[in-house]
Amino acid sequence: MKLFNKYKNKNFMYLTNYINSCISNEELALTPEELEYQLLGTSQSTFEEFIHAVLNQSVFPNHNAGLLYKDDQNKLQPIREVPIPVRASIAEKAWLYYVLQTSNSDLFLNSELKQKLLDALLKDISFKDYPLQQHYIDIREFSTESCLDITPQFITHFQTIVQAVQQHRQLTVTNHSESGKIYSNEIVYPYKIEYSPQFNLFCLSCYPISAKRPVKIILSNLSSVSIGTVIPNYDEFIIDFEKQLSNIKLTHPIQLEILNQREAYDRCTYLFSSYDTYCYEQNNKLTMTIYYYHFQEEEIFRNILFLGHYVKVISPQTVVEKIIQIIRSAYENYPK
């Protein structure tokens, strides 16, 4: 068996991810039976050979191939104490090279590290064999409302918020809302950063002390962000925040019917990928149920309208009527 063909063998990729996951959290370790279930499609003899190899029980006793060991609970734990480096193919390196040249990558990498990666990738990439271009990397057509501009200030704000989330610290922000109102020096407890693929914008899900309820703030609307002290009783805050989110989740989810035409399936699942959804296909149509919060309603309506006649709202009736009213209003106001 070709156990470790780094590009073609699925066992190599699975085992790499398995080892790295167990190093981060040993509770993710599996028993041999559970590991076999994850590798369905592998013959029994091949699987036994696989287990023998990673436990260094092969027919070659002098060959040290052991990667895992069985702990006291019969779980397969990694012998390594550090993660296995990712082994990228040439095509993946070419893709990464072009991704690193986008402004979004500045949010996650400092300029020095980014340049080192670009220089290293240039040595491995054959642009003749992989003539990638920017429109091959990102084929999305953003809404005209897209307002993401990666400025030095935006990068600083983004990284400050990430630091606050990771360190469980509060923030002081000045937010210019969409309605034009300015909220100056608001103290907020950050929960997480969310990204809208359609509108190409980042939002901060947080708990402003003054509002006493979960809200979303568009990062591009922030004129100032500063990090503060550690959030008191952080674990209790998270429990209470998520409880409030569940309380404001609407009890009647939206159910859509999507036609299998012009990649409507892909576009629909892409637009609603950040929501809690349930899908099933029947009669060449995809039925999607979307569970959401009240403050997400406007964004969901925009996404539904964006999909056009390929999607139909089945329920609830209140949403059906709202969508009809939006379309009717747009038609009546359209210049004749």
**Are 232 and 266 part of one and the same domain?**
no
Domain-located, residue 122: yes
Within this chain, do residues 157 and 240 fall inside the same structural domain, yes or no?
A: yes
Whether residue 223 sits in one domain with residue 165: yes
Q: Is residue 5 part of a domain?
A: no
Domain limits for position 305: 254-333
The sign of the torsion formed by the CA atoms of 266, 268, 273, 277 equals: negative
260 close to 307: Cβ distance less than 8 angstroms:
no
**DSSP designation for 254:** E
**Whole-Å CA distances, 82 to 22, 38, 85, 153, 326:** 10, 23, 9, 35, 55
Residues 194 and 279 grouped into a single domain = no
- Kindly state the DSSP code that residue 85 receives in the 8-state scheme: P
Q: Which pLDDT tens digits describe the chain residue by residue (336 residues)? A: 344 444 445 667 777 788 888 888 888 888 877 777 766 554 445 555 666 555 555 444 544 456 777 788 888 788 777 777 777 777 778 788 888 887 888 888 888 999 998 888 888 776 666 666 656 655 455 555 556 788 899 999 999 999 999 999 999 999 988 777 888 999 999 999 988 766 678 889 889 998 888 888 889 899 999 999 999 999 998 888 888 877 766 668 888 888 877 777 777 877 787 777 888 877 778 888 888 777 677 788 888 888 788 888 888 888 888 888 888 888 787 776
Q: Which of 221, 247, 273 is the last residue of a domain?
A: 247
Displacement of CA 15 from its chain's centroid (Å): 22
Last residue of some domain: 78, 101, 128? Answer: 78
- Please state the domain count of the chain: 4
Q: What is the pTM of this model?
A: 0.60
Residue 144 inside a domain? The answer is no
On whether residue 268 sits in a domain, the answer given is: yes
Residue 142 lies in a domain: no
Say if residues 104 and 146 touch (Cβ distance below 8 Å).
no
Does residue 317 form part of some domain? Answer: yes
Indicate if 100 and 41 belong to the same structural domain.
no
Task: Give all strands of the β-sheet with 254-259 in edge-to-edge order.
Answer: 276-282, 285-291, 254-259, 311-315
159 and 243 together in one domain: yes
What is the spatial distance between Cα 216 and Cα 220, in angstroms, rounded to a whole number?
Answer: 12
E-strand ranges in 27-82 read 68-70, 76-78
Whole-number Å distance between alpha carbons of 279 and 289: 6
Could you check whether the bond before residue 316 is cis, i.e. omega within 30 degrees of 0?
Answer: yes
Q: Which of 202, 221, 247 is the last residue of a domain?
A: 247
> Is 146 inside a domain boundary?
no
**Six token digits for residue 43:** 């013959």
CB atoms within 10 A of CB 171: 25
Q: How far apart are the first and last CA of the chain?
A: 70
242 and 326 part of one domain: no
Per-residue tokens: 231: 């959030």
pLDDT in tens, 131-155: 666 566 554 555 555 567 888 999 9
* Nearest by Cα to 228 from 164, 181, 288: 164
- Phi, psi at 208, each rounded to 5°: -70, 135
Assess if residue 288 is contained within a domain.
yes
C-alpha span between 193 and 158 (Å, rounded): 9
